[in-house]
Amino acid sequence: MIITIDGPAGAGKSTVAKSAAGKLGFEYLDTGAIYRAATLKVLSKGIGLDDKPAIAKLISKTKIRIAGARVFLDNADVTDKIRDPQITSHVFHLANFERIRKTVNVKEREFARGKNIVTEGRDQGSVVFKNADFKFYLDASPEERAKRRYAELVAKGGKTTLKKVLRDIMQRDQRDMSRDCSPLVIPEGAIVIDTTDLSILQVVNRIVRNCRA
């Protein structure tokens, strides 16, 4: 069984997907982590983010593996590194690169083969797993999403402002929704959940109830 959870940044996809997978006894696939790891590799090699041929060549030789909640880049654990604000601000370059997306989509489908999974991202129900058993789309107001992301960054020792995080969230929404390759949309047949005034547990329980029913 494949369950997809799509939505904009800060809507709670990752936390909800992990919890839902745990309650259902499914595996969890964090697709955004794959793009973040690829971005980390490109930046570490000093390759220009507009040099698509060089990026494609580098990523084709790069090993990215997800094991539970940990992310490995060429066998090195980069779970914490890929959440750095610098990675967040540059990941859209690779996410908007059609050749990279196609490569990542293949990896995602390979991961899912023969498994029960909960997968989250920006195009899981609309592109990667169009025939998923259940599709969900999580949303929340930009202000609420910014508060969540700000609290997350501060808790990890990051230095920023709520105003800057809100601006980044809104810019990211615009990029995700307007990109030519796999833009952020509500997948056909998806159940839309506004998480603005809901707790993580409430959202998880709603998803689990739908799937078990």
What domains are there in the chain, each with its CATH number? 2-196 (3.40.50.300)
pTM: 0.83
pLDDT bracket for residue 106 (50, 70, 90): confident
pLDDT digits (tens, 9 = 90+) for 153-175: 888 887 889 999 999 999 989 98
Q: Which of 135-139, 164-168, 179-183 has the lowest mean pLDDT?
A: 179-183
pLDDT at 102 over 90: no
Give CA–CA dist 122/8, Å, rounded: 7
Give CA–CA dist 39/59, Å, rounded: 9
DSSP structure class, residue 192 = E
At 13 the pLDDT is 92
pLDDT at 111 over 80: yes
pLDDT bracket for residue 182 (50, 70, 90): confident
Mean per-residue pLDDT over the chain, rounded: 91
pLDDT bracket for residue 122 (50, 70, 90): confident
pLDDT at 101 over 90: no
Phi–psi pair at 66, nearest 5 degrees? -110, 125
pLDDT digits (tens, 9 = 90+) for 26-72: 999 988 888 999 999 999 999 999 898 999 899 888 888 887 778 99
Percent of the chain surpassing pLDDT 90: 63
pLDDT at 126 over 80: yes
At 193 the pLDDT is 97
Grouping H, G, I as helix, E, B as strand and the rest as coil, residue 191 is strand
